Amino acid sequence: MAGMMQARWLVVALSGGVFVSVATPRSAEACGPVPCTQAKLAGAGAVPVNFPGVFWRPLIDNAHPDRSPDPAQISLTRAGDPDTRLPFMATRTGSSDFLLVPDSALTVGETYVATDPTVCEAYGPSGSQAAHIQFVVGPSAPMPTTLGTLAVSDLAVGQRSVPGAFSRCDVEVTAAWQTVQLTLAPEAVPWKSLLQLEVSVDDQSFTPSRYEDHSADTQVTIYHTCAGADPSADSGVASGSHVVHMRGTIAGTTMTVASATATINLVCDATGGGGSGGGPDSGDPGSADGA
């Protein structure tokens, strides 16, 4: 299987509609080792003025693991004045993450642009794009105390693509699956673009694919592969009933809020029933959709 500072801080975190560096590997490389872990510089849309800092996770080039990230390469400007870079102080917040704190307060109603020009050399000049986002600073909002509620689709059993257990290639298998959809609580909506989401199944972290970033996804498909499935496929979760919830963390902080729980029941005999709170259409069973 997978405390708040003042208005001059800006958080940029993954959210639906965000722009991130996306690599397009050539077909011959599709199942091979990941040459780079793409940079995160994201969070399009309105964010509260009382947010905590520009979140940046640098690109990791696995061919050059000794390279140190350089926050000076990040460009932060007003959208109306792209030639004037705004100075900031970079503070490391984890093994590879940074908060970039502007020297001067950001302005409510102002639109800003952040860019990380770094690309993955292994993909060549056309295979990787620089991370680039645009965001508006909105009015102050209280910190949320809850994330929201979950709705669960009906049980589906059939053919679907699941991640490979040993490579980045998907594998076609027979599986049982249900889709879980998060609806944000009103108090969490102003913080939407700042939330990094995590799905837990029976208090164990679950991700649709360990090779991709799903921290912006408000919808996720949870599956169990049926008997006789290709052993090269990731088996998902165990058959039977499971309790699911989501957590959202304000990027660059330890502030975390949780959703209500929901129950799923994954059985390869389709007569075994579904989960609580039947909700979204599962759509394409081969993917987890973002917000």
* CATH class of the domain comprising 148-272: mainly beta
Kindly list the domain boundaries of the chain, sorted by start residue. Answer: 27-138, 148-272
The pair of structure tokens assigned to 236 is 């998902």
More confident of the two residues 30 and 257: 257
On the question of a common fold for 27-138 and 148-272, the answer reads yes
Q: How large is the average pLDDT for residues 71-88? A: 93
Q: What is the DSSP string of 124-182?
A: -TTSB--EEEEEEEE---PPPS--EEEEEPPPEEEEEEEEBSSSSSEEEEEEEEEEEEE
Mean pLDDT of the chain: 77
pLDDT band at 61 (very low <50, low <70, confident <90, very high): confident
Higher-confidence position of 182 and 290: 182
Does the pLDDT of residue 182 top 90, yes or no?
yes
Whole-prediction pTM value? Answer: 0.74
Q: Domain 27-138 has what CATH class?
A: mainly beta
pLDDT value of position 69: 85
Instruction: pLDDT band for 179, please (50, 70, 90 cuts).
Output: very high
Which of 40-44, 138-142, 235-239, 271-275 is predicted with the least confidence, judged by mean pLDDT? 271-275
pLDDT exceeds cutoff 70 at 164: yes
